[in-house]
Amino acid sequence: MMHSNMFSILHILFLATFAQTITAASPKATTLNGTYVGKHLSSWDQDAFLGIPYAQPPTGSLRFKWPQSLNTAFDEERTATEYGDSCMQYTQNWTMSEDCLSMNVIRPAGKPKKLLPVLVWVYGGGLYAGSSADPQYNLSGIVKVSQDIDEPILAVSFNYRLGMWGFLQNFNLLKEGNANAGLLDQRLALRWIQENIEAFGGDPDRVVVWGESAGAQSLAYHMFSYDGQDDGLYRGAILESGGITGAQIHDLSYYNVAFENLTRTVGCWDKKDQLACLRDLDEKALYAARPSLTWNPLIDGTFLTGYPSQLIRQNKFHSVPMIVGANTDETFCIGKVNTTEDLFYEMFRWRNYALSAPTARKLLELYPDDPCHQPPYHITNCSRPAGNYQGRRACAIGSDIAMISGRRKLAELFTESGEDVYSYRFDQLWYQRAEWDGVKHFDNVAYSFQNISGLLGPSPKYDSHAELANTIGQAYGKFINTLNNSVSGIIYLNTSQLYPGTACVANGFIGQLSVSAADFSVLAISVTTLLTVTRFMYIPNTSTTRKAFICVAVWTMPLITSLIPTIAGEMKPVGGNWCWISATRPDLRYAMTHGWRFFVILSTIIIYIYIWVYLRRHLGTKSRASRRTLSFSTRNTNTMFSKGSKDTGFRVMKEDEVELDTFGTRHGEVDALSSPAIFEQGIHWDRRREKTDEIEDMGIREVTNPNPQAPPQAQQNMLQTNASEFPQRRATHDVEVEIKRMMLLNGYPFILSALQMQRRTGSIII
């Protein structure tokens, strides 16, 4: 995991970053325990809060135990401008101590007005090495990329215990309930983030965890912890070169010899309480006696109740949207081999994955002794195999077992659970590295952290590496914000631009089309309502040609507004797997979308105001007071005609009742045989009710025919002539229902309430 060849350069760069002169007011954040004062990074335009404790120091009696939450508060402001000590481990690159459980927060300068999504980094190192203070893990790079694409994030890293300090395994420790302390450090850190990150401007509901190698493996264990219980600690994950088949989980018996060696070395073997003896040891004495054995997680019955392979079958895991991937040549090699026989033998001795003979033979068949077999050997000249050909063969098998197969299994598993999973393979050779040497484990980290300065050669070759790093940063930044694949389609890295693929452009075109069509559909409905009210046009009864014209009219402008930006090449990625009109073309956005939307909104408002005024003028109480009307009901068989001024239009009375305008005068009692043709067959006069009920209900008095000398036929002609102005008599009821439906669909209920009046006033009731 540690790459000493780059450490010096990165360390200098890292120290320079945090040696910037503070040019802005020192940022502050108040957590549940107290207020911390960070530092402003002027070169990044960011704020940093470093070395914030998230747990009690795991020292003395708390050594080897699960972490304990902070239980004290303070009133004074405390500085948080330097990284805390790294946890005890087998390397000596850092300032180490057991009091190491600290947190770091990097954010864009100033507390944001809107809470930012949070990225949490978990370092790798085989669970025996690593530190959040490692300059290779400088979070400022990826935060800067998110700032550049205007989708800012807040980034967090923390330390957790390693080696025997975090993963000491013993029966008495298991009995105490303190196995896997390093994993519980991680869990407590995630809980601290949930409780305190809002003080820094982070959104606790939008946390994405990110790990590489053992860090990714640890996160996979969290997904299987507590039988897959979802504690709401994170909503997405990015796993680089690690997963459920990283370092193996061994039985407790596997560690018996190592525990005995440790206790004998420090003089605790013969003690009655060996753990108490180990906890009483001086930190330096315990560190000096550290064994070389790698301590790994254990099935403890609480945090991990079973092997991942078992929990998968029991559907006990917490699935989330994920980016997961690995490098082409992870270089988890199986011993030092020169022949096929050597490789077969080493498979039995391999510490992490002791394979059976049938499995070993099958693997040798799948990875044949053929230098031209592709993949995974990167042999470009079959007649001249590269050096260490058998070694590359062994590494290919080991890498696929340790990294590739687990990645594929995890992706398949989470996809079946309905989550979005994006898988990648990192295949970029470092500068001046031979192709046969491959793309190794950890090679991608410099790109992920935008930390490639000085590592990849001069321009112009360096430029393409910088663009690749930037692309990865954008992909991660957009995933953190949206949980979707961020950069869709083909990306040409020989330019400074990211070109969207066909799928992204298609999404943009369809999205623009559907949104615009929805806008114009609202306008079309309002226009149709207007025509129905003022022209009595009932759409279901219109011709097919007219219906087709209406549909075409609705879709014409949306097609135009979608095609223009697409043809102009202005459909650009804007978030997730989604394109829209480029943000650099606000003129096009307003011309194709916003401008038309304002037009539709304004037009719709004007149309409905006109409809309201029209209905009030023709159907309101004032209008009625000046009119004498004819009332006709399909339920009330009495009919009464009264004279009055002629008015165009109709009046809706009830769901099955309409009121027509004045046709002329007629005697109150009409013979059924001489009733006009406008009445449907089957409607009969009921002389028993005559005028009284209708008069009482409607408040309308019967009037005497002022022209009794007029012949009945002339009166009937007058009625029929006037009726010719209303050819849709059978559809009158349908028109009424259509108006009612349109008003409700258009969210226009205030027309109904405005026109709703008591029947005794003779006003309209819809």
**Measuring CA to CA, which residue among 317, 325, 356, 136 is closest to residue 216?**
325
Per the annotation, the verdict on 43 as an active-site residue is no
Contact 140, 41 (CB under 8 A): yes
In the beta sheet, which residues pair with residue 423? 324
Q: Which amino acid is at 54?
A: Y
Q: Which amino acid is at 202?
A: G
Strands (E), 401-546: 421-426
Whole-number Å distance between alpha carbons of 763 and 627? 12
> Any alpha helices (H) in 78-149, and if so which ranges?
140-148
| Six-digit token string for 514 | 């559907």
For 240, the 3-state DSSP assignment is strand
- Please identify which of the residues 98, 212, 330, 346 carries the catalytic annotation: 330
Strands (E), 221-339: 236-240, 322-327
Contact 180, 206 (CB under 8 A): no
Q: Which amino acid is at 334?
A: I
Contact 96, 87 (CB under 8 A): yes
Residue 81: Cβ-neighbour burial (10 angstroms; 0-12, 13-18, 19+): middle
| Six-digit token string for 377 | 């050997």
Using CA atoms, how far residue 6 sits from 438, 448, 454, 467, 553, in Å, is: 18, 16, 9, 20, 65
> What one-character DSSP code corresponds to residue 237?
E
Whole-number Å distance between alpha carbons of 32 and 689? 82
Contact 448, 325 (CB under 8 A): no
Q: Is the peptide bond before 117 cis (omega within 30 degrees of 0)?
A: no
Contact 73, 34 (CB under 8 A): yes
Contact 592, 581 (CB under 8 A): yes
Contact 758, 749 (CB under 8 A): no
| Six-digit token string for 467 | 């663009």
- Please identify which of the residues 131, 146, 213, 488 carries the catalytic annotation: 213
Q: Which amino acid is at 232?
A: G
Who's near 517: CB < 8 A, 6+ residues apart? Answer: 554, 555, 558
Who's near 516: CB < 8 A, 6+ residues apart? Answer: 557, 558, 561, 562, 592, 593, 596
Pairing outcome for strands 202-212 and 236-240: parallel
Q: First CA to last CA across the chain, in angstroms?
A: 77
Whole-number Å distance between alpha carbons of 282 and 15? 32
- Residue for token pair 């060696």: 261
140-148 helix and 461-482 helix, angle to the nearest 10 degrees = 80
Contact 135, 14 (CB under 8 A): yes
- Residue for token pair 């299994």: 409
Whole-number Å distance between alpha carbons of 154 and 120? 9
Number of neighbouring beta carbons within 10 Å of residue 358: 8
Alpha-carbon Rg for the chain, nearest whole angstrom, is 40
Per the annotation, the verdict on 674 as an active-site residue is no
CA 234 to centroid of chain Cα atoms: 12
Q: Which amino acid is at 247?
A: A
> What one-character DSSP code corresponds to residue 591?
I
**Measuring CA to CA, which residue among 319, 316, 294, 320 is closest to residue 305?**
316
Whole-number Å distance between alpha carbons of 484 and 117? 14
Active site residues: 213, 330
